[in-house]
Structure 1
């Protein structure tokens, strides 16, 4: 009876990995070993931001909608350039044109116009200028602020530090486990590192007391989180 039940579980894919032989879980590792995962997290103050704004214009004709959206984008880019923002810090997206309809029950949809939209992403390298750039976007016809992602200009440096911290964490865990069980670590048999996105930009938030503050002081910048992990298998002597 027990053999029959086991066969059913295995055939149905219901046999938990917790009950599998160690050789299967270790993917063919048939010698004494310790496998650990090193993790790390670094939190840093942001000093730059990627700001994504958009203009959406609805007009009777597609050409009028396109012309008005293009004009707003051109004026905003010109203002950014005049303010000293480098061209490689300004990215503009292609035109998105959508027909607009009015729907009435039992009647065919009626075309009422077209909405043209375009987005611009600006890299702000000085957060003290963030509010002024947002103001200029709205003044030149951009009517949506889609996203403000705060970042660090030293991202590559912090990512490298986070990776090294994860390596140290994995090694310390392995040494602690080996010592606790009266074993000695041997050489590393395998290192697994997954290409991932270690940096988590923080989204800009408005302070709840914004009305009582100056415009520049009403934003909460938070911190940028930089995380990494590495897995390693050590042989035991």
Structure 2
């Protein structure tokens, strides 16, 4: 069946060769064109799309922090940034975070200049920066690790993305829910028009991942001293999926 569909597309493109299309452009069009368009389905059919959305509580997070240091020499800036990263990694491993859950980026070193009108730029120093990404598997550790990062010389919290350790399980569940949604819609439409639903003729599926992470937000109204943990508002992780199906009608 797929072979016949490609033949139809090829025939239509081949008729246009005389209008200025080259053979190479036809080959590219065959690769770039979708397998079938709705207009190419020449039999009675119903086309439906199934969607699903699952929300679940996060139980882990990806923490991205950065150290940015400016000093008069490149070596001094580099040494300070490296020291801050090393101290924080040591603190993480001491807290039980596996090294496989820690990713440290390479050094980014940039010269800094003072620009004054009608004068040549003056080199004033160097800025060194490094990022670390830490997968926190226990959300109860998050605030402690944030405090530790700041104590060890990390001076920027770039991002906190909440996630779920059960992502694969719920992705599969969302996919099945989208399939059921497409089937139920098709059955309802066929019944409403007095028709009978036949076999599936085509399935179009596009991977909806990655899962939408939720950025952790801080509640500005919370009192910092008595309840730091409660000042973080944990959102829900959203997993979505979608499938498109063409059914024959009997």
TM-score bucket of the superposed structures, by smaller chain = 0.7 to 0.9
2:193 corresponding residue in structure 1: 181
**Residue of structure 1 aligned with 2:101, choices 79, 89, 92:** 89
Cα distance, 1:211 vs. partner?
2.2
Deviation at 1:27, TM superposition (A): 4.3
Provide structure 2 residue ranges, at least 5 long, that are not aligned to the other structure.
Answer: 1-35
Question: Would you say 1:31 and 2:43 are equivalent positions?
Answer: yes
Q: What is the Cα-based RMSD across aligned positions, in Å?
A: 1.2
8 Å CA contact 1:41, 1:225 repeated in 2: yes
Q: How many pairs does the alignment contain?
A: 214
Q: Secondary structure at the match of 1:128?
A: helix
Pairs within 5 Å for 1:77-226: 77-211=89-223, 213-226=226-239
Structure 2 length-normalised TM: 0.83
Name the CA distance, whole Å, in 2 between partners of 1:183 and 1:95.
65
Structure 1: 5+ residue runs without aligned partners? 1-23
Shift in Å, 1:197: 1.5
Q: Give the distance between the partners of 1:27 and 1:173, measured in 2 at CA.
A: 21
C-alpha distance in 1 between matches for 2:228 and 2:118: 50
Residue aligning to 1:7: none
TM-score normalised by length of structure 1: 0.88
Task: Report the Cα offset of residue 40 of structure 1.
Answer: 0.3
Q: Which residue of 2 aligns with 1:231?
A: 244
1:23-47 CA-to-partner distances (Å, cap 9, x unmatched) read: x951411111111110000000000
Give secondary structure in 2 for the equivalent of 1:209: coil
8 Å contact from structure 1 (residues 47, 150) kept in 2: yes
